[in-house]
Structure 1
Amino acid sequence: MKPVIRHLESLDNPDIFDIYSYASVMEHTSQLQYLSTDAVASLFNSPQNYTLVAEHDSKVVGHVTVFQSIKVRTKHCASLAIAVHPEIHGKGIGKALMNAVIDQSDNWLNITRLELEVHEDNLGAISLYKRMGFEIEGTKRLSTFKSGKYIDTVIMSRINPSYQLGA
């Protein structure tokens, strides 16, 4: 499946809301279930954020958002959030979104460090991130309450390969 990757538009909000209406998606986020459409839209519609969507058959089936730092000394850093519609997991949408956002971050947004946090039990996501060049930096122990218990969160990052220390 080859999706069209493009920038988020306000008309995409219903499709983004649909993705986040699934418990199987929400369980891997830091948000509570049953968010309103306005709450979901507010997560990604900000001048400091850069959101790409994957469109297939005229429907948005995934997104990736770069949350750029507004702090002067950390403007070279950004964090990521990604979600793919659960009905099409494993079809290459996440990989296509990650490739696009890495290209944008490295070549257009002047981001040196991309970072993310992922629940330790989200093995598919961790595997994807490793394939995309992210490395595990550490673990935040018992950092998230999920399904009635505390779980660990894995911290991962990717440094732009063209960055040279001291250059």
Structure 2
Amino acid sequence: MSDILIRAREPADMADITELLNQPRAIWGTLQLPFVSVDARQRRAASSAPGDLHLVAVIDGKAIGAASLNRFENRRAHAGSIGMAVHDAYAGRGAGSALMAAIVGQADNWLNLARLELNVWSDNTRAIALYERFGFEREGVFRNYAWRDGAYADSVAMARLR
């Protein structure tokens, strides 16, 4: 994991992030649609809420993983939602763990968030194991949560309370 740098996402990262999210396995693990252009991703990034955290995992100058922490407002100001993905060619090299450590560290040590939550496909056992290592617990299953790759897929709601 020593060759992985975690840093804030920059506008120049959008080409790498687009490539990452257009990978078959990476897109399979998200709610994103495949074949999204760099321009569309740049527009979406520009519309992010000011309090959101966007990080990238970088190896040899290339953004190979991305994670976000979206903070809620008002009566849910104590909570945030996490999303992440890693480039298919770099899966299993520790980028997901490094991104999760950074997100959880920011939430705990700088934002004082008491609840972190996420949704993960019920058949994404590798991601579920990662989240469980960081203290996330299963809270329920959303049956037929979304259409993915030609069929409805279930999603597991997970959360980490501090």
* TM-score with structure 2 setting the length: 0.92
Q: CA deviation at 1:42?
A: 4.2
CA distance in 2, matches of 1:32, 1:8: 20
How many correspondences in the alignment? 159
1:111-143 CA distance string (max 9 Å, x none) = 111100001111100010001110000000111
Please give the residue correspondences for 1:72-91 in structure 2 after superposition, counting only pairs within 5 Å: 72-91=74-93
Following TM superposition, the consecutive aligned residue runs of length 4 or more in structure 1 with deviations greater than 6 angstroms are none
For residue 48 of structure 1, what is the amino acid of its counterpart? Answer: G
Secondary structure of the residue aligned to 1:124 is helix
1:65-95 CA distance string (max 9 Å, x none) = 00111x3111111101111111011111100
138-147 or 30-39, larger mean C-alpha shift? 30-39
Q: Unaligned 5+ residue runs, structure 2?
A: none
Q: Unaligned 5+ residue runs, structure 1?
A: 161-167
Contact 1:138/1:156 (8 A) holds in 2:
yes
Q: CA deviation at 1:41?
A: 3.2
Root-mean-square deviation (CA, aligned residues, Å) is: 1.3
CA distance in 2, matches of 1:25, 1:39: 18
What percentage of aligned pairs have identical amino acids? Answer: 40
Q: CA deviation at 1:43?
A: 4.3
Contact 2:29/2:85 (8 A) holds in 1:
no
Partner of 1:122: 124
Contact 2:115/2:160 (8 A) holds in 1:
yes
For residue 54 of structure 2, what is the amino acid of its counterpart? Answer: T
* TM-score with structure 1 setting the length: 0.90
